[in-house]
Amino acid sequence: MNANELRIGNLVYRNDIANGSDRIETVVELNSKAVVSGPIKVICSYSELRPIPLTEEWLLKLGFENNRISVNSVDELAYMFDGDEWSLRYQTKGSGFTRDYGIKHVHQLQNLHFALTGQELCVTQP
């Protein structure tokens, strides 16, 4: 992954060398190396991190219900899957404005949600 793709709070995979499996980690600091926090705080290179593919399971964990999440009292985000990638639609109910974004990874959804709302999108389900 590249440093310019990430923000503090993003969820990513990092290979756990001890057991050879992927761990879900949270980015807690960004500089010449990434600092991620799971069970312990780890300094690693960006090349050691991998994006988490966006799935319906992840959308549910992030608070989407009935394929939607409220942005505020007027706007909402809705997701659709076309068999290849998730599409996220930003809908402004009052004006009828819509905008579609193609998204493949959890961190991209987190970043887009923050850009649109100014609020972090965090895991709401275990």
pLDDT digits (tens, 9 = 90+) for 50-93: 999 988 889 889 888 877 777 777 777 777 766 666 777 777 77
Residue 9 belongs to a domain with what CATH number? 2.30.30.140
Q: 5-30 burial by CB neighbour count: b if 16+ within 10 A, else e?
A: ebeeebbbbbeeeeeeeeeebebeee
pLDDT in tens, 94-116: 776 777 777 889 999 899 888 87
pTM of the model: 0.81
Count up the domains in the chain and report the number.
2
**Residue at 125 is within a domain:** no
How buried is 47 (Cβ within 10 angstroms: 0-12 exposed, 13-18 middle, 19+ buried)? exposed
The region, left, alpha or beta by phi > 0 then psi within -120 to 50, assigned to residue 62 is alpha
pLDDT of residue 52: 95
40 and 61, same domain (yes or no): no
Q: Band of the pLDDT at 7, cuts 50, 70, 90?
A: very high
Q: Tell me: do 38 and 66 sit in the same domain.
A: no
Q: Looking at the predicted structure, is the pLDDT value of residue 41 above 70? A: yes
Q: Assess if residue 46 is contained within a domain.
A: yes
Q: Do 61 and 112 have their domain in common?
A: yes
Mark whether 99 and 74 lie in a shared domain.
Answer: yes
The predicted structure's pLDDT at residue 82: 67
- Which residue has 């850009």 as its token pair? 115
The range of the structural domain enclosing residue 84 comes to 56-117
